[in-house]
Amino acid sequence: MRIDILTIFPEILEGPFSQSIVKRAIDHQIVEIHLHNIRDYSTNKHKKVDDYAYSVGAGMVMTIQPIADLIDKLKSERSYDAIIFTTPDGIPYQQKQANQLSLFDNIIILCGHYKGIDQRIRDHYITHEISIGDYVLTGGELAAAVITDSIVRLIPGAMSDETSALTDSFQDGLLSPPVYTRPADYNGWKVPEILLSGDEKKIEAWKHEQAIEKTKTIRPDLLKN
d(CA 222, CA 225): 5
d(CA 90, CA 213): 31
Domains 2-152 and 169-224 share a fold: no
DSSP annotation string for 186-198: ETTEE--GGGGS-
Residue 36 confidence (pLDDT)? 98
The secondary structure of the chain in percent helix, strand, coil, rounded to multiples of 5, reads: 40, 20, 40
Residue 171 confidence (pLDDT)? 76
d(CA 85, CA 5): 10
- DSSP annotation of 159 reads S
- DSSP annotation of 177 reads P
Residue 104 confidence (pLDDT)? 98
Say how far residue 25 (Cα) sits from the centre of its chain.
15
Q: Is the pTM of this model over 0.95?
A: no
Residue 127 confidence (pLDDT)? 98
Please give the CATH superfamily to which domain 169-224 belongs: tRNA(m1g37)methyltransferase, domain 2 (1.10.1270.20)
Q: Are the C-beta atoms of 174 and 222 separated by less than 8 Å?
A: yes
Domain ranges of the chain: 2-152, 169-224
Backbone angles phi, psi at 13, to 5 degrees: -90, -10
Q: Is domain 2-152 in CATH 3.40.1280.10, yes or no?
A: yes
Question: Is residue 150 scored above 90 in pLDDT?
Answer: yes
